[in-house]
Structure 1
Amino acid sequence: MRPPFDMIARLLKQERKMSFTLATWNINSVRLREGLVCKLMTEEAPDVLCLQECKSPVEKIPVEAFKALGYEHMVARGQKGYNGVAILSKIPMEEVAAHDFADLNHARHVAATLENGVTVHNFYVPAGGDVPDREVNEKFGQKLDYLTQMRDHFAAETPKKAILVGDLNIAPREDDVWSHKQLLKIVSHTPIEVEHLTDVMEAGKWVDVTRQDIPEGLLYSWWSYRARDWDAADKGRRLDHIWATPDISNAAHGSRVLRAARGWEQPSDHAPVFATFDL
């Protein structure tokens, strides 16, 4: 006796489900740290790797080395010496967007849709300079304007089946920084920045996947180069994020920060952040 058609359809749908691991990492020069990217690809093997601050024109990204490790697909936006974002993937994908929010003419965003229909947005939000006052610091104003336009974009086009990752340059929660009290007036943790980031989250109905998995406790992804012993001092901030839309956020698990990468030879000052999605 043959199984009913609806059962066959359900089984086929289950077979098409894809479990994939995604990582986001501000690499602080993809060409200078090509070896570290290859190390991560070899030892951790995420299916999708989103890089920020590539500091390279797209044509000079060492894509052949990454292809040799199975990352045959790339979408990217680049600039010489600063900014730059790239999505490297083992999974086929198609570029769908690259926004220049705040009209900065910076390579800070690229998005691609994977073959399973999930769209990945990779962002590098402006750092904002040193003074949290747009009247005296143009860069801080640019950061707030960038976030405002991100908010407006996602409010106008509510995303579905999407993941947003990147160096968002804001540590929003009190336990996302080593000292909430001491950093309240430091760029990346000021109330106005947190408010702007919260507005972006609410506009797109984004879920903070990392904190969904790790709801309590101090958690960092960045440690300053200025610290003589970053590991012992442990004055970190969680600047790197993985968000998902509500329709797929419950499929996420296994979130973690690869703190050890901050201690690799000639490291980035950021550590990679991971999450796995069963879709």
Structure 2
Amino acid sequence: MKIASWNINSVRFRLPIVERFLREMEPDILCLQETKAQDSEFPAQFFRDLGFEHVVLHGQRMHHGVAIVSRVPIVEDDRLDWQANKEARHVGVRLPNGVRLENVYVPAGGDIPDREVNPKFGQKLDFVDRMIAWSDKLDVPTLLVGDFNIAPLECDVWSHKQLLDVVSHTPIEVEALNRLQGSNSWVDLGRHFQPPPEPVFTWWSYRAKDWAASNRGRRLDHQWATAEVAGAAKAHRVFKDCRDWLKPSDHVPLMTEFDF
């Protein structure tokens, strides 16, 4: 089974590259973040026509939004409000083998890494704390995927020194993400298959005139698995070339293949 994750940055605007990815890479399940569509506007029939008959949504008009589309049966599980304001940032399902699949879109956190000056940064840290409380009690095999909006390692950003004070790579965010990973048996599949110090990025800003030449990326997107699920992981890939496709998202998809 191949499970992919992609912050698509408006699903309706990027249907051509979504279709290309699904046809060329053939995932069994695709988890999307930042769909920017309420459930009634989500192009569910588009995915069903491509063989993804099972669609589970948690949408919101114009902002945020997550979705899981699948070729295999999935059972809707939960929509957790880790943001504590009813933003559509999480949806979870159960797979036929009992594995839980959680799709999350962590808030970006604004521009200033100070919760007193920038409430959005505090909301981001509180979001991760609520995830930690959930993770600490988790007792079933689980795959957690999505846009975490945190690049934890020095080799997860183009310049560790220059980004230490930039939201997404600050020490306080990294410490929070490390606590989340330590709250259960989470294995960072991206770094399991591509160990440090090899640089790995999943996001490049639209502001760069030539994103590939400057390569000022960050690894903001992740797939984490509890020990049982990690043991079934056979391969992992980041599809960097998708950043060059027509009307691309600023994020690229990643996918793990499992032996189950």
Query: Shorter-chain TM-score: which interval?
Result: over 0.9
> Which residue of structure 1 lines up, in the alignment, with residue 142 of structure 2?
162
Looking at structure 1, the residues matched to 49 and 82 of structure 2 have their Cα atoms a distance apart, in angstroms, of 34
Q: Secondary structure at the match of 1:32?
A: helix
Residue 202 of structure 1: how far off its partner (Å): 1.2
1:195 correspondence with 2:197: no
**Which deviates more, 46-55 or 28-37?**
28-37
Looking at structure 2, the residues matched to 205 and 108 of structure 1 have their Cα atoms a distance apart, in angstroms, of 23
Looking at structure 2, the residues matched to 68 and 84 of structure 1 have their Cα atoms a distance apart, in angstroms, of 22
Looking at structure 1, the residues matched to 59 and 218 of structure 2 have their Cα atoms a distance apart, in angstroms, of 26
Looking at structure 2, the residues matched to 78 and 134 of structure 1 have their Cα atoms a distance apart, in angstroms, of 27
- Greater Rg by CA: 1
Matching residue's letter, 2:20: K
Residue 118 of structure 1: how far off its partner (Å): 1.2
Unaligned 5+ runs, structure 1 = 1-19
Question: Which residue among 185, 203, 227 is the counterpart of 1:205?
Answer: 185
Q: Deviations over 1:124-175 (max 9, x none)?
A: 00000000000000100000000001001111x2242110000000000011
Q: What are the residue-to-residue correspondences of 1:87-98 with 2, within 5 Å?
A: 87-98=68-79
1:83 correspondence with 2:78: no
Looking at structure 2, the residues matched to 66 and 44 of structure 1 have their Cα atoms a distance apart, in angstroms, of 15
Cα RMSD over matched residues? Answer: 0.8
Q: Secondary structure at the match of 1:33?
A: helix
TM-score by length of 2: 0.98
> Which residue of structure 2 lines up, in the alignment, with residue 184 of structure 1?
164
Matching residue's letter, 2:189: V
Residue 102 of structure 1: how far off its partner (Å): 3.5
Residue 117 of structure 1: how far off its partner (Å): 1.2
Q: What are the residue-to-residue correspondences of 1:256-267 with 2, within 5 Å?
A: 256-267=237-248
> Which residue of structure 2 lines up, in the alignment, with residue 133 of structure 1?
114
Paired residues in the alignment total 259
Matching residue's letter, 1:73: H
> Which residue of structure 1 lines up, in the alignment, with residue 93 of structure 2?
112
Runs of 4+ in 1 over 6 A off after TM superposition: none
**Which deviates more, 246-255 or 132-141?**
246-255
> Which residue of structure 1 lines up, in the alignment, with residue 214 of structure 2?
233
Q: Secondary structure at the match of 1:219?
A: coil
1:224 correspondence with 2:221: no
Unaligned 5+ runs, structure 2 = none
Looking at structure 1, the residues matched to 155 and 102 of structure 2 have their Cα atoms a distance apart, in angstroms, of 25
Residue 210 of structure 1: how far off its partner (Å): 1.1
> Which residue of structure 2 lines up, in the alignment, with residue 23 of structure 1?
4
